[in-house]
Structure 1
Amino acid sequence: MFHRAIVIASGLFAATVVNAQTEVPFALDWKFEGPSAAYFAAIDNGHFAEENLSVNIEAGSGSVQTIPKIATGAFPMGFGDINSVIKFLDQNPGAPVTAVMMIYDKPPFAIVGRKSLGVSEPKDLEGRVLGAPPPDGAWAQFPVFAQETGIDPSSVTVEPVGFPTREPMLAEGNVDAITGFSFSSVVNLKRLGVADDDISNILMADHGLELYGNAILVNTDWAAENSEQVRGFLRAVAAGWQDVIDDPAAGIDSLVQRNPAADKGLEQERLQMAIEQNVATDYVKANGMGGIDAARMKKAIEQLGETYEFQNTPDASLYFTDAYLPEGGFALK
């Protein structure tokens, strides 16, 4: 049974249209942190309501874990790692899940280490201990990263760790580096007192990875019956991202309403990292938000195949569709 964190648009306007709204449970990849502010802004600023949608948001436990929630129909829509979708569909042919809007054009997959522990560059991992949560999206890409950077995986001692203990173990020196999303792990380490100049943020995308990152996912059976709701949902998400780009502080206010324990300053830093490094990339600024480049996706699938043995012939049309996006994607100002 799923325990859902219910988040609904408030105010008189929402009350007058609630009967006409479609309920859309939405599964996040992770906890209510900086980058999720875009979705709460879309609620608080009325973007979902304008599309006659009432969106219920649940925190997640890893970007890989979102996929079966969508495929089983427990959630019609969610946010998860497209590379893991590719592998999931290879292992579960015909499963009703696909990506419909790319959010992290440049994925935040990272190796985050401490320079004082000898980790500044990829090859520094050899002979050292790497903490990696098994459901972590960044850990899922480590074999490709190792292949591209010439790391001998057998020389790296991998310590399975939990998400809550990952950064504390690195802060305490119990591991030399960790896998994670850059904006999550870097900011968490700062919160734990690790000096900024001691943190090495090794983005996999800067070291040969052509992969995309997290996308809006949809249950294809639900989408076939609710195509206009999917389009409206994506319009609202794009508007929410524009809102937090224009006014990050207001976006964090929306976040803190749902997570009162959050540190506003750190979460705004986390949001800014996601915007600058992952969302508002040069490609997105030139080509719009939400879509993908077919040639890059082809390379990404080939790259995954270097360390993953496909059981079936890869088919990019199964993993992503732009059918619910406007032509040219959503312009980010």
Structure 2
Amino acid sequence: MNRPLLLATLGASVLAVPALAQTHINFALDWRFEGPSAPYFLAIDNGHLEAEGLSAEISAGQGSLDAIPKVATGAYPMGFADMASLIKFIDQNPDAPVTGVMVLYDKPAFAIVGRKSLGIEEPADLEGRTLGAPPPDGAWAQFPVFAEAQGLDVDSITIEPVGFPTREPSLAEGNVDAVTGFSFTSYLNTVRLGIDPEDMTVLLMADYGLDLYGNVVIVNTDFAEANPEAVTGFLRALAHGVRDAAADPAAGVAAIASRNPALDQDLEVERLEIALRDNILTDWVMENGLGNIDADRFASSLDQIAMTYEFNTEPDPARFFTDAFLPDDGSLSME
């Protein structure tokens, strides 16, 4: 066979070989498609997942207690959930194949959101006033830790149970002086009801003694054991997505809007900017990189959880989080 014919034959053979299939990951969010979910969609749209040989389908959720079982059962290999909820789930289901692999919210969004005109400017102002709190609310679950850290006289605070749909309207109408909730949710919802942003007070519990971590990427450990490179690749792509969202929040929200045309883009840009500033790109993350934990802080957070939750067994930090899948190539740096 002469050389040109040989090369042509080899070329045809190469073209005949099917492209290697991408690893597909179904990812379970904890909540709706809102501004803070932009990094996932930017990881897709900007080609970061494709560069890792991955594709992904991002699914909305109904809270951490919805996302965690989805991953633990293997229905979804990866997801996003609140660290405290994950810790309690694993304590109650010690054989569940699920763990945290990347912290995205270095500071949780748990907050007290109040109004200056109603006398709320600092934690001590809650004494003698009325606090609206939905009983299932994650921020309300952490309120005893916050109150103890601030030395509040809880007996002097009137707790008004409110539903999620009536929480911010109650604050806007002045029926309560403050509410528990996610910082970027309760703040924006109240402002949308006509309250002047200058009248709003947001007390992020992480700034007042709460050592808990916020939301983390979780993984089914059976999937991770079989596909460690895929898990690391997903985390690296997500880190690039975070960086892209920080560089252009409007583009991040536009990526969400392409999946949800009814989205209020201006509102979600503001929500994303708040989450990036207060929860994701914290001073610790800017110094140490995205995704990992501080061992001493994590131990303290377990002690704080034990203040309001009785562990079935002695908590083992290694059971709740591992850094084994975090990329070590510098891609987690947010500088």
The TM-score with structure 2 as length reference comes to 0.88
The yes-or-no answer on 1:172 pairing with 2:177 is no
Instruction: Name the residue aligned to 2:85.
Output: 84
Larger radius of gyration between Structure 1 and Structure 2: 2
- Any idea what the Cα deviations from partners look like across 1:56-95, whole Å, max 9, x if unmatched? 1122222343222222323221111111211222222222
Superposition deviation, residue 154 in structure 1: 4.1
Contact residue 236 and residue 331 of structure 2 kept, 8 A: no
Contact residue 99 and residue 319 of structure 1 kept, 8 A: yes
The yes-or-no answer on 1:310 pairing with 2:320 is no
Matches within 5 A, 1:195-274: 195-274=196-275
> Which amino acid in the other structure matches residue 123 of structure 1?
A
Superposition deviation, residue 160 in structure 1: 3.8
Specify the SS of the correspondent of 1:143. Answer: helix
The yes-or-no answer on 1:49 pairing with 2:55 is no
Specify the SS of the correspondent of 1:100. Answer: strand
RMSD of aligned residue pairs (Cα, Å): 2.1
Superposition deviation, residue 287 in structure 1: 1.1
Contact residue 76 and residue 219 of structure 1 kept, 8 A: yes
The more displaced of 233-242 and 118-127 is 118-127
The more displaced of 218-227 and 195-204 is 218-227
Matches within 5 A, 1:283-302: 283-302=284-303
Provide closer, same or farther for how the CA distance between residues 134 and 28 of structure 1 changes in structure 2, counting only shifts above 3 A: farther
Superposition deviation, residue 277 in structure 1: 1.2
- Any idea what the Cα deviations from partners look like across 1:93-118, whole Å, max 9, x if unmatched? 22222110011112221011122223
> Which amino acid in the other structure matches residue 226 of structure 2?
E
Provide closer, same or farther for how the CA distance between residues 281 and 230 of structure 1 changes in structure 2, counting only shifts above 3 A: same
> Which amino acid in the other structure matches residue 73 of structure 1?
G
Superposition deviation, residue 119 in structure 1: 2.5
Instruction: Name the residue aligned to 2:146.
Output: 145
Distance 1:57 1:161 in 2: 31
> Which amino acid in the other structure matches residue 228 of structure 2?
S
- Any idea what the Cα deviations from partners look like across 1:108-136, whole Å, max 9, x if unmatched? 21011122223222233334333333443
Provide closer, same or farther for how the CA distance between residues 161 and 50 of structure 1 changes in structure 2, counting only shifts above 3 A: farther
Instruction: Name the residue aligned to 1:40.
Output: 41
Provide closer, same or farther for how the CA distance between residues 195 and 214 of structure 1 changes in structure 2, counting only shifts above 3 A: same
Distance 1:152 1:96 in 2: 41
Instruction: Name the residue aligned to 1:276.
Output: 277
Distance 1:18 1:114 in 2: 58
Distance 2:73 2:129 in 1: 39
Specify the SS of the correspondent of 2:64. Answer: coil
> Which amino acid in the other structure matches residue 239 of structure 2?
A
> Which amino acid in the other structure matches residue 131 of structure 1?
G
> Which amino acid in the other structure matches residue 223 of structure 1?
A
Provide closer, same or farther for how the CA distance between residues 125 and 26 of structure 1 changes in structure 2, counting only shifts above 3 A: same
Provide closer, same or farther for how the CA distance between residues 164 and 261 of structure 1 changes in structure 2, counting only shifts above 3 A: farther
Superposition deviation, residue 22 in structure 1: 2.5
Distance 1:22 1:81 in 2: 26
Provide closer, same or farther for how the CA distance between residues 173 and 258 of structure 1 changes in structure 2, counting only shifts above 3 A: farther
Provide closer, same or farther for how the CA distance between residues 123 and 65 of structure 1 changes in structure 2, counting only shifts above 3 A: farther
The TM-score with structure 1 as length reference comes to 0.88
Instruction: Name the residue aligned to 2:189.
Output: 188
Distance 1:116 1:164 in 2: 23
Distance 1:57 1:160 in 2: 33
Contact residue 71 and residue 78 of structure 2 kept, 8 A: yes
Superposition deviation, residue 178 in structure 1: 1.7
* Percent identical: 61
Provide closer, same or farther for how the CA distance between residues 24 and 206 of structure 1 changes in structure 2, counting only shifts above 3 A: same
Contact residue 111 and residue 181 of structure 2 kept, 8 A: yes
Superposition deviation, residue 256 in structure 1: 1.6
Contact residue 239 and residue 331 of structure 2 kept, 8 A: no
Distance 1:268 1:132 in 2: 26
Distance 1:257 1:216 in 2: 23
Contact residue 63 and residue 136 of structure 1 kept, 8 A: no
Specify the SS of the correspondent of 1:141. Answer: helix
Provide closer, same or farther for how the CA distance between residues 309 and 323 of structure 1 changes in structure 2, counting only shifts above 3 A: same
Matches within 5 A, 1:314-333: 314-327=315-328, 330-333=332-335
Matches within 5 A, 1:106-117: 106-117=107-118
In structure 2, the gaps of 5 or more residues are 1-17
Contact residue 24 and residue 55 of structure 1 kept, 8 A: yes
Count of residue pairs the alignment pairs up: 317
